[in-house]
Amino acid sequence: MKSLKYKSGVLKLIDQTKLPEKLEYIECSTYKDVGRAITGMVVRGAPLIGVCAAYGISIGAAAFKTSAIKSSSNKTISDEFSSKEEFFDNLRQICVFFKSTRPTAVNLFWSVDRIYGIAVSNKAKSINEIKDIILKEAQTIESEDISTNRAIGKNGDALIRQDSTILTHCNTGSLATCAYGTALGVIRSAHESGKNINVIVDETRPYLQGSRLTAWELKQDNIPFKLICDNMSGHFMRLGKIDCVIVGADRIASNGDTANKIGTYALAVLAHENNIPFYVAAPTSTIDFTIENGDAITIEERDSKEITHIKNLPIAPEGIDVLNPAFDMTPNRYISAIITEKGVTYPPFDKNLGKLI
Ligand code: MRU
């Protein structure tokens, strides 16, 4: 299953806010539509928002028109120069716009910088050529994401034993990427390689990515799973019912500290207490080598209504104070291994992560 499709200036996205009840698509034909899809959680998941931003920039760049382009027969060299400057001013504004959509997942920033970088390095070309180059780069980022996830799956599969019960958190599957997934890609790969696995899915309060999205994906693939509430995981770990935990990541610092969906830190501490391996599966584009440790990661604070309401129905008294951090940071000491497309890395991460690039 593919979470997005791009064709002729239109980005078609599965509307994840409607799942699991309805499988519906929305069409984005302006860059602002794509931005709204990211902020409105129509699309989410670190790799997917990066790819959507890349296509969004391409759509925004393609819409750029100047009088010099419109009447190319009359254009002068100075017209061309000012148009190019205007084009790049516009491109920069679009990039800034996408960087403001969500703060934690580094893939968004990585993708925007990659698109802007390729445009700048081709500045000598015509505006139409640069537009084409931007689109091709977005398509490359999309196809790389799929092959990267396959490689993460294969590398992670080597860590999964026959007859394992694997606990996972949030959604890290096809709906969080372009296809296949990261942590869920490892689970898919273990299932495809014939291992008899069972998955325990955390519902992932408050946004319920586990129950709404991961359960939906696993059901489609006929991978055996059971859904639990987040506060049940410690119980099952203590009873010896969990063989390993696999989660994704939104940003990994150079020392391995990992920001991921709220609740991940508690899972990692519980796994450590119960001697259960705790794996993080993510593409190398999720590693932020510009930061030394996880304290530098901005944690997104989301709308209190995600906690006080379910489908617009109040489940808490009106007017109360709420805290709603969307992510937390797991210190590297709780992580047994980080699975990437380039291989599996073990502690000490501050020494070993750098060897991946
Ligand atoms: O708020 P979300 O749904 O975008 O959060 C997603 C997660 O935390 C995922 O675990 C993470 O992005 C890894 S996805 C491959």
| The pair of three-digit structure tokens given for residue 271, joined into one six-digit string | 């796994």
pLDDT at res. 96: 98
Question: CB of 153 closer than 6 A to ligand 1?
Answer: no
Query: How many angstroms separate the CA atoms of 315 and 357, rounded?
Result: 47
Say which of 145, 157, 202, 250 is annotated catalytic: 250
**Residues in Cβ contact with 180 at an 8 Å cutoff, skipping those fewer than 6 apart:** 146, 149, 150, 153, 173, 174, 188
pLDDT at res. 82: 79
Question: How many CB atoms neighbour CB 321 within 10 A?
Answer: 5
Instruction: Specify the residue with its C-alpha closest to ligand 1, atom 6.
Output: 45
Number of alpha carbons in the 13 Å side-chain half-sphere of residue 298: 11
Atom of ligand 1 minimally distant from the CA of 281:
15
pLDDT at res. 54: 98
How far is ligand 1, taken at its centre, from the CA of residue 260, in Å?
7
Query: How many angstroms separate the CA atoms of 37 and 21, rounded?
Result: 19
**Residues in Cβ contact with 249 at an 8 Å cutoff, skipping those fewer than 6 apart:** 46, 182, 258, 259, 260, 280, 281, 282, 286
Question: CB of 38 closer than 6 A to ligand 1?
Answer: no
The mean pLDDT values, 10 residues at a time, for the chain of 357 residues are 95 98 98 98 98 98 76 59 91 98 98 98 97 98 98 98 98 98 98 98 98 98 98 98 98 98 98 98 98 98 97 96 98 98 98 95
Question: CB of 251 closer than 6 A to ligand 1?
Answer: no
Q: Which value, in Å, is the radius of gyration of the alpha carbons in the chain?
A: 21
pLDDT at res. 79: 61
| The pair of three-digit structure tokens given for residue 17, joined into one six-digit string | 């806010």
The vertex-356 CA angle with 353 and 357, nearest 5°, equals 115
Atom of ligand 1 minimally distant from the CA of 49:
4
pLDDT per residue as tens digits for the range 166-197: 999 999 999 999 999 999 999 999 999 999 99
Active site residue 250: yes
| The pair of three-digit structure tokens given for residue 144, joined into one six-digit string | 């790389």
pLDDT at res. 1: 84
pLDDT at res. 56: 98
How far is ligand 1, taken at its centre, from the CA of residue 74, in Å?
50
C-alpha closest to that of 148 among 109, 107, 177: 177
Question: CB of 211 closer than 6 A to ligand 1?
Answer: no
Atom of ligand 1 minimally distant from the CA of 282:
15
